[in-house]
Structure 1
Amino acid sequence: MFRRSQWRLFAAAFVLALALPIAAACGGDDDDTAGSTPEPADAVTGYAEPDLLAETDWLANQLNRTDLVVVDIRKKEAYDAGHIPGAVWYDQAALKDPDEKLYVIRESLFAEKAGALGIENQKEVVIYDDGTGLWATRLWWVLDYYGHPKVRVVNGGFAKWEKEDRQVTKEVPTVQPATFVARANPDVICALDYVKEKAENPDPNVVILDARTQAEYAGADVRAARGGHVPNAVNLDWQLSLTESDPKVWKPAEQLRAQFEKAGITKDSQVIVYCQTGVRAAHSLFTLRLVGLGQGNRLYDGSWAEWGNAKDTPIQQ
């Protein structure tokens, strides 16, 4: 007969034998997944490209990095009144070309301005504005258009930073000028003729997105010689990408995708976005990339300022 101690040993061995295959199936120490890196951020946020956003708590821990340039694109008086430590200031007016005011600042001039702020191609750039991301995404798009590989926009901007009682300074940093090599990417921009061709010859795979208000889209709010919208364009106000409560941040990915899909935009669509001057449109383009919708998306930079003032462009109301 077994002694009591022998029964205990037998029971322990039996339990261990049962546990080993379960542990193996779940990925124990000998499993290939042991010690693997955490799930990517998109598994948590649902965003296709979560690194396009910089959360304020993340940024607060990055300010001492020498390979990071933080850019404030608010009004100059707001920057002077207090800004994120180490942030440099970029003028909103210097996002359009000073001579050809409808389209993006020319390549050589932007390279000069970016370099003067210490921006070079190898450094990560983080941009913030008052809070909505409107101007920050416009600068994001210009940097993207000129080939910068790593640019983030602060989610909630300065409004969120300030509400969280984070450090603010009036000290203007000393900038070491850098060399930014600007290489324009024609695949992320389009001109009037391209939009006109797509509007007059509808393609089920192409969506023309009007990022203005519904009143502008309908022609009730006229901000050019004529009011209305590009024929066959759909309307989705850029502001609907943000939460209603302050500080405003981007809505969860699921909500954003639902809004765009309701407007007929899918992962396989090519989206042409316009607004009045290409600023709000850049915000919508940023959001589309954030959630992974559309392919080959383009910004019509002349937007309604060009289309609505032209004499021979078709208009719907």
Structure 2
Amino acid sequence: MKKLLIVVMFMAIFMIGMASSPISKDYSVYAGSTLVNPEIASKMMESEKDLVILDVRKQGEFEKEHVEGSYQIWRSDFSADEGEYKYSGMRAAPQKIAGILGSYGVTSNTHILLLGEGEAGEAYRLWWILDMYGHRNISVIDGGIEGWKSAGLKVVEGTVAKPIVPTIYIFTNPENLSKSADLEDVRSAIADDLVILDTRAYLESDGFTQEEKKIAVGRIPGSYNIPWNLMIDKDKTFKSSKKIKGIFDEQGITKDMPIILYSQSGVESAHMTFVLRELLGYKDVRNYDGSWIQWSYESSQGNVEVEKDNIFKVLFSYLTKREKLESVITMLGVWGPLAYILIYIFVTLTISPALPITIASGIIFGPVMGVVYTAIGAGIGLSLSFLIARYIAREAIERKFGNTAIFKKIDEGVKKEGWFILAITRLIPIFPFGIQNYVYGLTSIGFIKYVVLSTIFILPGSSVYVMLAGAFTSGDKAIVLRYSITASLIFMGLMVVTKIIKKKWNL
């Protein structure tokens, strides 16, 4: 009974620690007030008479679900007409934008509320254009349509017609083209060694992926690469200003520096422009409208240079830079966790050190999902090791471990203590994890009991490393504090159990 109470008490501490309560996001930490949470946006819709909601998504997505009272708009509506430029993606002129706004019943006094596809940048591209041309009253809903639904707010389906009687829209404030950069501005920035920021994803900036095959691979000479999606949390809302600032501080990019941003076609860079100006309060920030599409075109004409890194240098960077590895796993979607799990299985079967990959799970997946994926990978790996030892390579495993002190202690413990010895050897590192998996296959313990108990009782030990790595990587004080306390409680519990077992077994 005493043994059972020890284990139950320890597991209770672990489960209490894992049960984290949600933390309300503080929007007052941002430099500006343009970004609003869905609840505030909903109250704006109820209280303000002159407000228009523009949903910046494709028509089909809008028809499936949208905020009631909103209108659909897409990038082609606020882009230059075909033939105006030799390349696509440029912004529309003020006259076209004014006509578009008028068709939605917008006036210069209207509060425009923008909503997009989660973290995607199209809504921020429209914000950048409207703000630059002089419309002052604009808000953007954090998290887009996903954030709206996550807040438990209502969505409807179907088509929505524009107002029967449009308005005549006039930009009453002067346009500020200093918020935009052109080709010559970028050339001058290169000559003056100013900050040019490539906001494309790592794989795109490094030339592994490309939206348009005809576009050249490479980057603008001397540019930094900070992907736009590093600004977004896993719930598709923006990270805190402290986390975001930390990313720029690592690159030595400070508030006093003039910055030009570019992406594939000026969308992700508009998103980053919003981040720097509205969330961090940077002043001298310009979005290069032509971005890589224009620069690539000009390079094909011999007018500008394209910078590329050696392929081996690029590949090595993915092995040494956590953010790049994380971006690849994240890009794989459901295949990312699967890749991690397969690697963990391989590490387990080969009796390789599991600590490095265990810590990596916390960094890549966070303190909660890191524990989950580690448990799955370790659970499958220890199950396969057991089956190999019992049914496939028993004789070889016996020759390797049958006469070792580890096997004799575990075999004796299984006979005398049953499931308790299995729980203890999983809770604390009395014996190497990888070797245990094969040794247990030589004992009399049943497979189902072994798998279930092993998977459950490896969680506390591995979670200490995963939680600490995930918590400190997050940069959030509340998360760091919560999971540090949890990990400390688990570690203290492990120490207590270790002393009891060492004394009992004379280890």
TM bracket (short chain): 0.7 to 0.9
Contact persistence 1:271–1:294 (CA under 8 A): no
Cα offset for 1:212?
0.4
Instruction: Identify the residue that residue 111 of structure 1 maps to in structure 2.
Output: 98
**Secondary structure of residue in 2 paired with 1:309:** helix
Contact persistence 1:125–1:150 (CA under 8 A): yes
Instruction: Identify the residue that residue 187 of structure 2 maps to in structure 1.
Output: 196
Cα offset for 1:96?
1.6
**Secondary structure of residue in 2 paired with 1:197:** helix
Cα distance in 1 for partners of 2:103, 2:167 equals: 6
Cα distance in 2 for partners of 1:225, 1:218 equals: 13
Cα offset for 1:280?
0.5
- Structure 2 CA distance for partners of 1:164 and 1:293, relative to 1, 3 Å: closer
Q: What is the root-mean-square deviation of aligned Cα atoms in Å?
A: 2.0
Residue 60, structure 1, aligned to residue 42, structure 2: yes
1:241 to 209, 223, 231: 231
1:180 to 169, 186, 202: 169
Contact persistence 1:115–1:180 (CA under 8 A): yes
- Structure 2 CA distance for partners of 1:193 and 1:302, relative to 1, 3 Å: same
Cα distance in 2 for partners of 1:133, 1:308 equals: 23
Contact persistence 1:114–1:120 (CA under 8 A): yes
Matches within 5 A, 1:112-131: 112-131=99-118
**Secondary structure of residue in 1 paired with 2:304:** coil
Cα offset for 1:89?
1.3
Cα offset for 1:74?
1.0
Cα offset for 1:309?
2.0
Instruction: Identify the residue that residue 72 of structure 2 maps to in structure 1.
Output: 89
Cα distance in 1 for partners of 2:282, 2:40 equals: 28
Q: Which amino acid aligns with 2:28?
A: T
Q: Which amino acid aligns with 1:127?
A: L
Q: Give the number of the structure with larger relative contact order, counting CA–CA contacts within 8 Å between residues 6 or more apart.
A: 1
Point out the structure with the larger helix share. Answer: 2
Q: Which amino acid aligns with 2:74?
A: D
**Secondary structure of residue in 1 paired with 2:297:** coil
Matches within 5 A, 1:270-285: 270-285=258-273
Contact persistence 1:207–1:264 (CA under 8 A): no
1:70 to 44, 49, 53: 53
- Structure 2 CA distance for partners of 1:163 and 1:44, relative to 1, 3 Å: closer
Which segments of 5 or more consecutive residues in structure 1 lack a partner in the other structure?
1-41
Residue deviations 1:60-113 (CA, integer Å, cap 9, x gap)? 222232121111111101212221111111122122201333421111111000
Cα distance in 1 for partners of 2:143, 2:155 equals: 16
Contact persistence 1:107–1:146 (CA under 8 A): yes
Cα offset for 1:295?
2.3
Cα distance in 2 for partners of 1:293, 1:314 equals: 32
**Secondary structure of residue in 2 paired with 1:126:** strand
Cα distance in 2 for partners of 1:281, 1:153 equals: 16
Cα offset for 1:305?
0.4
Residue deviations 1:180-226 (CA, integer Å, cap 9, x gap)? 22353211111111101211331xxx311100012222233344542
Larger Rg: 2
Residue deviations 1:105-138 (CA, integer Å, cap 9, x gap)? 1111110001111222211111111211411111
Cα distance in 2 for partners of 1:128, 1:135 equals: 9
TM-score normalised by structure 2 residue count: 0.51
Q: Which amino acid aligns with 1:180?
A: Y
- Structure 2 CA distance for partners of 1:76 and 1:186, relative to 1, 3 Å: same
Cα offset for 1:43?
8.5
Which segments of 5 or more consecutive residues in structure 2 lack a partner in the other structure?
1-24, 309-507
Judge which range, 163-172 or 133-142, deviates more: 163-172
Q: Which amino acid aligns with 1:73?
A: V
TM-score normalised by structure 1 residue count: 0.80
Cα distance in 2 for partners of 1:144, 1:249 equals: 21
